[in-house]
Amino acid sequence: MLEFLIGFVLFASSSLANHHELLKLMPVTELAVRLVDTPYIVRCEAASKELKFHWKNPVGEIITGDKGRVHIEQNEDASISLVFEPVSQSDKGDWTCEAADNSAHKSFTMNVKQKITFMDRETEFVVKEGKDATLLCEVKGDPEPQIQWFFKDVNVDFDKYPNKYKKLGDGMMVSKVHQNDSGEYACKAYQISQDLTNFETRKIFLRIEHKPVWMQKQHSHKQYAYMNGTTRMYCEAKAEPPPTFNWYKNKKHLHSGKNTVVISESPYLSILQIDVVNEGVFDTYKCKVNNSLGSIDRSILLVEGTKPPKPIHLALRGLNSNTFDVDVGSVRTSKNKTLMDVNGFRIQYISESDLRRVDGDWSEANTKDFPFEDGATFLINYLSPNTSYFMRAASKNIAGLSDWTNAENFTTRPKDEPTTPTNPAAIATTSLVAVVLSLLICLKSILN
């Protein structure tokens, strides 16, 4: 009797196993977790080509169509594919591949997740200084996303600053905003579950409207220039909306003209360039900055100064493949300091090939400024090896630049050649090419 029971159980188990394998799904899964709006395909194949089968949806309806968002596709190997183009929330449930004679079936459960979706389209918010700003970031998803806020890439700590930041159901609030609160915020949404991990970021820019404020708090009310020279006055302020700049002399509104040029370097910087052609130029100038929320102004008194002497000489103390050690005779000749003493030097340099290409235009040259140091020489770095350069120098004081020295021609050493201290007189090359090019530059300057 016992042997009969064991045999019966084995036979039944074998029969069930064979019945179970009459149909097979690819991929082999009992649970398919998919995001909304993503495609998905499952193939059902039979162990025997004689076995007829079909697909049923979660409500038990046989799927027959070969077109539409959810459809079937007959394959050459007699398998049938169930195709989702794309997956929808309504696809949740059990999908079954079933034999026509009900002798077998295989099912899988579709678990549909909603990917992160930002409901708000606004990515920029404008708020007046001192008011509360509400940054909207409503997020939908399944599983429900968790939100984390960042300001300039730093996590916003709502617990540490409860009087400044408040988390809302559809965003966050920044209380009594000031200019430091302007910038880029990031709303980061996370989905984390056993079936799905996902995150998305929405960047939001907060713009704070405020009246003009000076970019530099310290301001010199006096500026110097010398006769027949050129000077520039700078007026830099930030404001939102961006400000307008106006220059005045004795209440007269100044515009670009014969001896003055108004230059707008950026929405927050205006420059007044003045050619000092007569003593009437020395006067008080005012820069007024305003927007719809207010205005500020500053006055600058232009005073006559003295033109600095040009450098004593221009030579090299040493060089290598990428550096010139430049000597401009930086020596204090008097122990008595005066207001118009030289306080620095400006050195310009350009490769010989580039100077030819721009037809001797020194505005294309590289420029470096150095403060005055008694007995110092100055390094010009990042040069190209074995390359011919032209160089000139000028002295500086508070009234402006001196005349330029004559352009000198120096050549860097080939790469890997050791650094060598050099006799300045030997380096100040007077080759025929250098002399000719220098004369052409001087001639162009005279003609202009």
Domain boundaries, given as residue ranges, for the chain = 22-114, 119-210, 215-304, 315-447
| CA Rg value for the chain | 40
Q: How many CB atoms lie within 10 A of CB 47?
A: 12
Q: Which CATH class is domain 315-447?
A: mainly beta
Yes or no: say if 55 and 132 are a contact pair by the CB < 8 Å rule: no
Report d(CA 297, CA 290) in Å as an integer.
9
pLDDT score for 259: 86
pLDDT score for 192: 87
Report d(CA 208, CA 241) in Å as an integer.
9
Q: What does the DSSP 8-state code read for residue 392?
A: E
Q: What does the DSSP 8-state code read for residue 36?
A: T
What is the pTM (predicted TM-score) of this model? 0.65
pLDDT score for 421: 59
Q: Which residues pair with 17 in a beta bridge?
A: none
The label of the residue with tokens 């002497």 reads 309
CATH of 215-304, picked from 3.40.630.10, 2.60.40.10, 1.20.120.80, 3.40.50.300, is 2.60.40.10
The one-letter amino acid code at 38 reads T
The one-letter amino acid code at 117 reads T
Query: Which is nearest to 374 in space by CA: 315, 326, 332?
Result: 332
pLDDT score for 127: 96
Yes or no: say if 341 and 397 are a contact pair by the CB < 8 Å rule: yes
Report d(CA 107, CA 80) in Å as an integer.
14
Report d(CA 287, CA 271) in Å as an integer.
10
Report d(CA 96, CA 109) in Å as an integer.
9
pLDDT score for 438: 52
pLDDT score for 14: 40
Q: Which residues pair with 140 in a beta bridge?
A: 117
Name residues of the chain where pLDDT drops below 70: 1-20, 418-448
pLDDT score for 350: 97
Same fold, 22-114 and 119-210: yes
Output the CATH code of domain 119-210.
2.60.40.10
Residue 87's Cβ-count burial label (10 Å; 0-12, 13-18, 19+) is buried
Query: How many angstroms separate the Cα of 408 from the Cα of each of 77, 303, 326, 430?
Result: 85, 34, 11, 8
Output the CATH code of domain 22-114.
2.60.40.10
Report d(CA 160, CA 169) in Å as an integer.
19
